[in-house]
Amino acid sequence: MQFSTAPPDAILRGHRARYVGFMSDRHTPPTVPDTSDQEVTAVVARLRRTFDSGATLPVPARARHLAALRRLLTEGADELAAALADDLGRHTTESWLVEIGFTIGELDHVAKNLRRWTAPRGRRVPAALLPARASLVREPLGVVGVIAPWNYPVQLLLAPLVGALAAGNTVVLKPSEVAPATSGALARLAGRYLDPDVVGVVTGGVGPTTALLDQRLDHIFYTGGSTVARVVAEAAARTLTPVTLELGGRCPVWVDPRQDLEAVARRIAWAKFLNAGQTCVAPNHVFTTPDAAPRLATHLADAVRAMYGADPAASEDYGRIVNTSHHDRLTGVLDATVDAGARVEFGGGREREDRYLEPTILAGVRPDHPVMAEEIFGPILPIVEVSGLGEAIDLIRDGEHPLAAYAFTDDAADRARIVREVRAGGMSFGAPMLQVSVPDLPFGGVGGSGYGAYHGEESVRVFSHEKPVFSKPLKPDTLRMALPPYGRRARLMLRAMFRV
């Protein structure tokens, strides 16, 4: 996922402004004040005192904090949806689907299993050590920092918070300043619903983030791009603070030409153009064979029209690029790729002031084209022609490990080969992105797409230390046989124990 400190764009067109309830056809998004270095230090100190007091350890206390977070999401849903429309031009229904409802579902799943997931769990003791007992005790880490990106600014801030609270931590939240309306709404709602001694909020840009990284935290959970991730990891290394890095990835799609290409296109188009393509697990590019590529491109164009109409710019269901900086980046990559020999099969329209970029399908794309150099993170879908699955796998393996890999094939041998030969953070057959919606499936990257995972029980585990606890009674004293002086009896018993 991308993280940027570029200033937000200041202008929305009339139909977008009417949708989010503004009174004119030009709107300047709010700015979020920077939390001062002194305030950052005070927030972390306050949370440290709370954690050290033991107030967050009892399971009923954790359940209360989760219930308060649920009220924030349900009672504050309209405020959050309006802020998301302001920042990303996103329809309320889509915000419920991918942000508010998604996070409520994650929270309910964790709350339902809270007592079971936080209870000590027994472990088997070798016969040689009996009588004895062993268990793993999940204990909270302490003060946790969660740094979120702008593309899903509610979900990617509050879903990690669910796991951190369930594990018994105190948490300092850093929403993205690139989504200023949502950042401000989150700060207001947190102050209204959450205990400030348990959850603190730091707002602003590079300065407050740097000040937060200078604090003594017990875990840092960062979602964003690899450049900032290196800064986070370097800062954490100075204090040996563990980190979870949820990064991006050039998520590939393999399409078997024997598939129902019309059905395939509908699913790819939905996953790709949701949130105007600004999704870390969105399909980045499609591999298929030369005979299937033109048919797939036609069906993709039809799928876009079915979702957003003949003019996606007029559709309330289609979002906007977050700011003009990212809009310029995307149009620059698109134009450079066309100049290099690719062709636009559909879309390509843009309007900088409105931050609008039409859903765009590119054909004739080669692996060395500019659009294939890095994660696109926008509504541009290249179709790359390959000889078959083998060449597609080779091209995937030539780059960084993707955050997710997708395939449309019913061939059991091909599926097994993809699972075996493609290393990715996650994988899904027949339905891009839906793997993230399964609460019991961990979500995370591998290699360049990050490390560490969360969702469901993994969210509790990542914010806990699993402490081994061993207990052995003094009587009977079975350890005596292992104490010096060693004799023949001890040697024989050891050989028998290990069957040598």
Give the chain's domains with CATH numbers: 14-247+453-464 (3.40.605.10), 252-438 (3.40.309.10)
* Rounded mean pLDDT, 102-118: 97
Strands of the sheet with 170-174, listed across from one edge: 199-201, 170-174, 143-147, 219-223, 243-246, 450-451
Q: Give the per-residue pLDDT at 478.
A: 83
- 280 is an active site residue: yes
Q: What is the pLDDT of residue 19?
A: 33
User: Which of these is catalytic: 280, 316, 400, 458?
Assistant: 280
| Cα–Cα distance measured from residue 211 to residue 201, given in angstroms and rounded to the nearest whole number | 13
With a cut of 50, say whether residue 17 has pLDDT above it: no
Asked if residue 264 has pLDDT above 80, the reply is yes
Question: pLDDT at residue 21 above 50?
Answer: no
pLDDT at site 128:
83
Task: Please say if the pLDDT value at position 120 is more than 60.
Answer: yes
Whether 246 sits among the annotated catalytic residues: the reply is yes
* pLDDT tens digits, one per residue of 207-252: 999 999 999 999 999 999 999 999 999 999 999 999 999 998 899 9
Catalytic one among 106, 177, 246, 358? Answer: 246
Nearest to 238 by CA among 216, 223, 221: 216
pLDDT of residue 100 exceeding 80: yes
What is the largest distance, in Å, between two alpha-carbon atoms of the chain? Answer: 94
What percent of the residues of the chain are helix, what percent strand, and what percent coil, each to the nearest 5? 45, 15, 35
pTM summary value: 0.91
- Sequence-distant (6+) residues with CB within 8 A of 438 are 455
pLDDT band for position 5 (cuts 50, 70, 90): very low
